[in-house]
Amino acid sequence: MTQLRYNRRVAFQWRPKLGQHFLASKSFRRRIIEALGLRADDLVIEIGPGRGAMTALLAERVKQVVAIELDPTLVEVLKRQFQGGNVEILAGDILTTNLADLSRRHGEERCFVFGNLPYYITSPIIHHLFEFAPWIRGMALLVQREVAERLTARPGSRDYGYLSVLAQFYSEPRLAFVVPPGAFVPPPKVQSALVDFRMRAKFPDWAPDDQARFLEFVKCCFAQKRKNLLNNLTAIFARAHIVQTLAGHHLPPSVRAEEIGVEQLAGLWQALV
């Protein structure tokens, strides 16, 4: 592992349209790196390295870091800063990046993903990452606190919804700790939080098509939160069939999707289809 120095004197231009909030707090950077549970032989895919502060810390601990940056100005500066080490800077968009191909190119079956995600595009990025769940050993993502609470919410809570089921279908997400606005430059208007994802699929034997069909079913279940599950599902199933299936799972017709865990949702889906 190559020792790299983070050059604080390099000038970077903040671009609001890219949703950039650089993690400036040294203490929080250290706290995050200690929480990741990295291995010396890891391949780490970093989403949005920004100024490269976390990139340097990652490179000190793992075999290889591939940092994917969308901002072309940052790409050029980062390439000069990390040349000759165990860091590869890729110009690109994580939403079009094939993590399986990237892992194979580095001779690895699985990678670890870390990122400080732009708030405005957090959900699409998380969806994209879970499409490559079999190739991901673990993930840790800095996201808006509100999103972190949705990702880790349990059935029966007001934050539990489709994003909760998605995350808990592919992993065991945990809100590690909150990061205040003052830890970033420029400071965002909301709190952030680090979410740790232990990649453990609920139904590892399901084919990819079944996984996709189940998640479409879950979207329908949560389509309108004010409606109960029965009324939401009448868009795709006959009402009598839904009522009979709910009764078979000891659920009343008035039950709402936010009251039902992943395993029970899966059982309903399998019975309905």
For CA atoms 133, 219, 189, 97, the dihedral sign is positive
* Contact by Cβ (8 Å): 20, 71: yes
63 lies in the same domain as 194: yes
174 lies in the same domain as 230: no
Q: How many domains does the chain have?
A: 2
Q: Using one digit for the tens of pLDDT, what is the confidence trace for 239-262?
A: 999 999 999 999 999 999 999 999
Residue 265 domain boundaries: 208-272
- Torsion of Cα atoms, 67 then 189 then 197 then 1, to 10°: 30
Which among 58, 69, 62 is positioned nearest to 94, based on CA atoms? 69
228 lies in the same domain as 191: no
**CA 94 to CA 72: how far, in whole Å?**
14
Q: What's the CA angle centered on 167, arms 163 and 173, to 5 degrees?
A: 120
Q: Using one digit for the tens of pLDDT, what is the confidence trace for 116-166?
A: 998 889 999 999 999 999 999 999 999 999 999 999 999 999 999 999 999
227 lies in the same domain as 151: no
Phi/psi at 118 (nearest 5 deg)? Answer: -60, 135
225 lies in the same domain as 192: no
Identify the domain boundary among 198, 218, 250: 198
Domain for residue 76, yes or no?
yes
Q: Using one digit for the tens of pLDDT, what is the confidence trace for 44-100?
A: 999 999 989 999 999 999 999 999 999 999 999 999 999 988 999 999 999 999 999
What pLDDT score was predicted for residue 19? Answer: 53
194 lies in the same domain as 215: no
246 lies in the same domain as 125: no
194 lies in the same domain as 229: no
What pTM value is reported for the model? 0.90
Domain for residue 203, yes or no?
no
Q: Check residue 12 and report its DSSP letter.
A: -
User: What is the percentage of the chain residues whose pLDDT exceeds 70?
Assistant: 93
Q: Any idea what the CATH number is for the domain that residue 248 is in?
A: 1.10.8.100
Domain for residue 7, yes or no?
no
Give residue 7's pLDDT band: very low, low, confident or very high (50, 70, 90). Answer: very low
Q: Any idea what the CATH number is for the domain that residue 100 is in?
A: 3.40.50.150
